[in-house]
Amino acid sequence: MESNPNLCLYERIRQVPEEAVKTIAAGRLKGMSDINPMWRIKRLTEEFGICGFGWKYEIIRMWNENGGNGVISSFVHINLFVKMDGEWSEAIQGIGGSSFVTNEKNGLYTSDECYKMALTDAISVACKALGMGADVYWEKDSTKYNQPNGQPTPPIDNRKVLNRDQFANDKLMEWIYKYLTKAREEGKRLSLVNLIDANYKVSPEDMNIISANYEQYRINNNLP
């Protein structure tokens, strides 16, 4: 069988060395795998060249979302560009998030690195579209992590597909409002981005559309 030329880059960057992967020990993502962000920077540089010359990114938007009990999350939306055969790619979008203000045992804690961490997360999301680290994220197409050799197998993605004609659907808007309101009343940290991402498979661009539709829904219905 002939190899697919469109998968050449994917196949080169899909595998992650063991020293660049660690298991998340606590929190909502406990038990899942985390990839060292500097490995991604190295692979981008190896494949495309020095940052600014062979690959680059631009920050589209930075914003905060309030949760319950003073909790605030920060988000960064970027466009990643890579140069192949002397030509720059179209924008590869990524949205990343991190905690700005958390409610800890001794009170509120403010992070002065939240936007840096959100930017790092956004770059990692954009890199996924290229196939970087695919073996960690997709067990069905893995060559290493789903083998019976003691290596960790990532969880299966059971999220639903959300079609574009549903982005402004009243039922979706009501569902978002219901869960965000409930989380706020219970003092839990939950943002629209996290809620959608946990339940549906959507692109960063689609996430922005849903977020804008939800804001308009709140305005139209005089909701807090």
Q: What is the pLDDT of residues 143-174, one digit of tens each?
A: 444 444 445 445 556 678 877 788 888 888 99
82 and 121: one domain? yes
pLDDT of residue 202: 78
Statement to judge: residues 148 and 125 lie in one domain? yes
In tens, the pLDDT along 91-136 reads 999 999 988 888 777 788 888 888 999 999 999 999 999 999 988 8
Mean pLDDT within 39-47: 94
Q: Write down which residue in 156, 178, 210 finishes a domain.
A: 156
More confident residue, 82 or 103: 82
Question: What distance in Å separates the CA atoms of residue 98 and residue 197, rounded to the nearest whole number?
Answer: 14
Tell me the two tokens of residue 133.
Answer: 């680290």
CB of 204 closer than 8 Å to CB of 75: no
Domain interval for residue 3: 1-156
Q: Residue 140: pLDDT band by 50, 70, 90 thresholds?
A: very low
pLDDT for residue 2: 47
> What is the residue-wise DSSP string for 61-73?
EEEEEE-STT-EE
Based on the domain organization, do 97 and 2 belong to the same domain?
yes
Whether 90 and 113 share a structural domain: yes
CB 59 within 8 A of CB 74: no
Mean pLDDT throughout 12-36? 75
Expressed in percent and rounded to 5, the helix, strand and coil fractions of the chain are: 40, 25, 35
Q: What percent of the chain has pLDDT over 70?
A: 84
Give the pLDDT band of residue 39 (cuts 50, 70, 90): very high
Q: At how many degrees (to 10) do helices 170-185 and 204-220 cross?
A: 80
Give the lowest-confidence range in 13-22, 33-42, 104-113.
104-113
Model confidence at 53: pLDDT above 80:
yes
Same domain, 115 and 150: yes
> Is a pLDDT exceeding 60 seen at residue 48?
yes
Give the Cα separation of 209 and 167 in Å (integer).
Answer: 7
Q: Are 92 and 117 in contact (CB under 8 A)?
A: no
Mean pLDDT of the chain: 82
Whether 69 contacts 190, CB under 8 Å? no
Domain boundary among 101, 136, 156: 156
Residue 150 pLDDT: 46
Tokens matching residue 22: 């660690």
206 & 224 share domain:
yes
Query: Of 156, 180, 199, at which residue does a domain stop?
Result: 156
Q: Count structural domains, the chain.
A: 2
pLDDT value, residue 144: 42
Same domain assignment for residues 42 and 132: yes
Same domain, residue pair 138 and 183? no
User: pLDDT: is 59 or 188 the higher one?
Assistant: 59
Q: What is the pLDDT of residue 156?
A: 56
Question: What integer pLDDT is reported at residue 25 of this predicted model?
Answer: 56
Question: Which residue has better confidence, 25 or 76?
Answer: 76
15 plus 62 within the same structural domain: yes
CA–CA separation, 61 and 98 (whole Å): 14
* pLDDT tens per residue across span 174-186: 988 888 888 778 7
Residues 214 and 197 in one domain: yes
Q: Are residues 148 and 38 in the same domain?
A: yes
